[in-house]
Amino acid sequence: MTNNSRFQAPTVGTQAGEGYRALMQLQRAADRRLTCVIAPAGFGKTSLLAQRCRELRTAGRRVAWLSLEPEDRDSFHLLSGLLTALETALPLAH
């Protein structure tokens, strides 16, 4: 069974302080093909990315979201999740 919340960014409030600085850095990285956000657990990575996701969608950009699960250690499960996330952001005409 597929967990649909896995493909939706969580709802978050507006970041302030240090989170604001990180969001500005993430916005400046928008032209890069890949951006990695690395920080220890509890430092707000999910909140930061969810806020950026909301901003991009508000601006009319398509964004794919995938929350990883322990099963994603299996490459088939991970690839299946990635494809579902991409299809959610970029629906294919059938």
Question: In degrees rounded to 5, what are phi and psi of residue 20?
Answer: -65, -45
Report the pLDDT value the prediction gives residue 14, as an integer from 0 to 100: 56
Q: Is the pLDDT of residue 8 over 80?
A: yes
Reply yes or no on whether the pLDDT at 15 is more than 60: no
* Residue 1: band (very low, low, confident or very high) from pLDDT cuts 50, 70, 90: very low
For the chain, list the strands marked E by DSSP.
none
Taking only Cα atoms into account, the Rg of the chain, rounded to an integer number of angstroms, comes to 14
Determine contact, residues 12/23, Cβ cutoff 8 Å. no
- Among 64, 87, 94, 85, CA closest to 3: 85
pLDDT digit string (tens) for 34-78?
A: 677 888 888 888 888 888 888 888 988 888 899 888 999 999 999
